[in-house]
A and B are shown apart, each in its own frame.
Chain A
Amino acid sequence: MIAVLSSIILLLAVLSLLTAIYLNIESYHKPLIKWVSIQSIIIAIIFFLYGCIYHNESFYLLSMFTLFFRAILIPIVLSKYVKDPLQRSRTRPAIYSIVSIFIIVLSYYLYTTIFFIFPVIGAIPLSLLLSGLFILASRRSTTGKLIGYIVEENGILFLTAILVPTLPFIVEVGVTLDLVAVLIVAVIMKDLKLDLNLPELRG
């Protein structure tokens, strides 16, 4: 049974990686929001399956938390502020595809070098993490940056679940609450359409 669940987790992990590649390339905000929600659903299912493997209630709770906040609430709030289907952050698909593949190879190399005592599946969340950082760095719009931040945190949560399955639930919840707080600040500032790069902040 555990072997079957582990195989399903591996399959879902690969799917989450494919969503990260798509998110790296996609420039329009509407599909970005939809696909980050799909990625979060995949991560939530993975946590649920980990709960079945480890018989740990924290994973079930974390799965529900991820599903509610990352897959449903945050995308709904973001969609509310991104009404224009043509709203986008410019990307370069050809270059970003190559960058995505480079990130995956680099993640695998780094993971097998640094975290060699842990299961090799951890290279996938590390790849999500680095993809999230790349999206953060490459998008100028606040919505694009928020998407990057969610991808990065999906990777972090997934990675910590692999490295330390017994890490207290409250810490994992703290990660999600941090994300929610960021979103609240964004909404209060009413600046989800902000295009960042003001000359006053140079130097």
Chain B
Amino acid sequence: MKVLYAILLILLYPIAAAIVSLYTYDIRITVIFSSLTYLMNLIITTMLLFQPDHIGMFYIDFVTKIFLLIINGIFLAMIIYSSDYIKHIDDPYLHPRYFFMLSNLFAVTLLFSVVINSTGLLWVGIGASTATSALLVVLEEKSSAFEATWRYIIIVSAGLAISLISIALVYHITGTEALNVVPYSLNGSNRILAQIALVLALIGFGTKFGLFPISTWLPDVHGEAPAPVSALFSAILLPVALYGFMRIYGILYPVSNGFSTTIIIYAGVFSALLSSMMFLAQIKYKRLIAYSSMENMSIALIGIALGYYGLIASLIIISAHSFAKSSAFFSAGNIKIETDESVIEKASEIGIPSTVTKSFALATMSVTGTPPFGIFFGEFLILYLLVEKSYFIPVFMLIIVMAISFLSMLYHSVNMMHSTKKTEKITLFMEYLPICLLVISIVPAILWVRL
């Protein structure tokens, strides 16, 4: 019962924050209230870590708790960063109070998606997150942002509609919507349906979590949205969409044979390879990070297909990715404010303050799986598991992916590190928040080593 109340509070606080944001014209009050909301949620989630799993209207296990920590942590950082960032936007398309209201509603849909014990409602939550997040992208009122938003809405909604067929099939197979169901007794035709459902779920949720090449909206939106929104999309939206697939896979895993596992592994490997190949050609630093998100999510997808330890590896990657990627996008936001340029070469010519480029370079190193950051340990574990299960071709391809992404990121980062300028426009908090998030991104690795 305690867990039930805790979850209700976790959902109600952001709703209250959204209402306060809507009716408060003083942004300071909105920021303070919203920050306290996510701080309280973080405290409640930390307490939940020591509670047993809960199965009822909500499904709260270790995976859910990790996702709750990530969502609340990133939203806390984003709200505080946005309070300063939004001052640098001339004539925003939305009034800041609507921006914070939509951000809080976005948080509600994501939190709802990860706690609800129903595949159907999980789908509804992820679908609703598209609607609540779409307008956040056009805050800076650029025609390119409008088009990016359209691409996002249409592609993701069309993709998610396909995943609904998968959910209908899961319902047909199991006879229930619950996430904790294990379909032991299946006849031959249902076994085939389970495999079809998995593939449809991969395509459907894949359009949202960044599976290349069906997530064509992702670099556009990440590139055109304001930096705090890009951070939310990359650090939370993609992992929550992956969570949707993870749950469907969790239900169907006992009845799917090795064929489905192989398909998922190869889909992840090819997606990672193709997205990493896009790194070097990028001229905008935010699009560069966006392709990196696709690579990270693809590798996390491979982990999910590898069973229990693979799931642990995926959780390490997802949690480290969330903090490192938000760090990278906040650094990108700092570059944008200081130089007013989104093209790497032009920003470098103007001169990017050295502390900003250092945090950007560190963040990019982190997301490419450089030790001691968390992603390295997750990727290492996935490689180990692939070798153990004799998937040698994916191992070889993944090593190529890691090499390409590391070298490309290094090349772009070094190109930006020319200036010895000091920061002029950003606040001290905006300057050092990315570093703090990078330090947090090491924590999953430490926990893994301790385990």
Question: Which chain A residues have a beta carbon within 8 Å of chain B's beta carbons?
Answer: 114-117, 129, 132-133, 136, 142, 145, 149, 152-153, 156, 159-160, 163-164, 166-168, 170-171, 174-175, 177-179, 181-182, 184-186, 188-189, 191, 194, 196-198, 200-201, 203
Contact = CB atoms under 8 A, between A and B. Distances in A.
A168 B120 contact: yes
Contacts of A194: 146-147, 150
A174 B124 contact: yes
Contacts of A163: 165, 168-169, 172
A171 B161 contact: no
A200 B278 CA distance: 16
Contact of B153 (A152, A159, A185): A185
A198 B144 contact: yes
Interface string B132-162: 0011001000011011111101100110111
Contacts of B168: 159-160, 163-164, 167
Secondary structure call for the B interface: helix
A184 B130 CA distance: 12
B147 A164 contact: no
Secondary structure call for the A interface: helix
Interface string B195-230: 010000000000000000000000110011000000
Contact of B147 (A152, A188, A201): A201
Given A160-B165, A167-B120, A185-B153, A201 B148 contact: yes
B251 to A, nearest CB: 15
B189 interface: yes
B121 interface: yes
B131 A184 contact: yes
B282 interface: yes
A160 B153 contact: no
B147 A196 contact: yes
B384 interface: no
8 contacts: A145-B154, A170-B124, A171-B120, A174-B127, A182-B154, A189-B149, A196-B147, A196-B150
Interface residues of B, number: 46
B287 interface: yes
Task: Name the 10 nearest CB pairs between A and B, nearest first.
Answer: A181-B131, A174-B124, A171-B120, A200-B144, A160-B168, A178-B127, A164-B168, A156-B161, A201-B220, A185-B134
Contacts of B189: 116-117
Contact of B158 (A133, A142, A170, A196): A133
A44 B143 CA distance: 37
A179 B130 CA distance: 11
Given A171-B124, A174-B123, 15 more contacts: A145-B150, A149-B157, A163-B172, A174-B127, A174-B128, A175-B161, A178-B128, A179-B157, A185-B135, A189-B149, A194-B150, A198-B144, A200-B144, A201-B147, A201-B148
B290 to A, nearest CB: 11
Interface string B167-180: 11101100001000
A171 B123 contact: yes
Interface of B: 120-121, 123-124, 127-128, 130-131, 134-135, 138, 143-144, 146-151, 153-154, 157-158, 160-162, 164-165, 167-169, 171-172, 177, 189, 193, 196, 219-220, 223-224, 278, 281-283, 287
Nearest to B196: A114
Given A136-B154, A178-B157, A196-B147, A170 B135 contact: no
A197 B146 CA distance: 11
Contacts of B153: 182, 185-186
Contacts of A117: 189, 193
Given A171-B120, A174-B127, A178-B157, A164 B172 contact: yes
A203 B164 contact: no
A149 B151 CA distance: 12
B146 A191 contact: yes
A178 B162 CA distance: 14
B158 A149 contact: yes
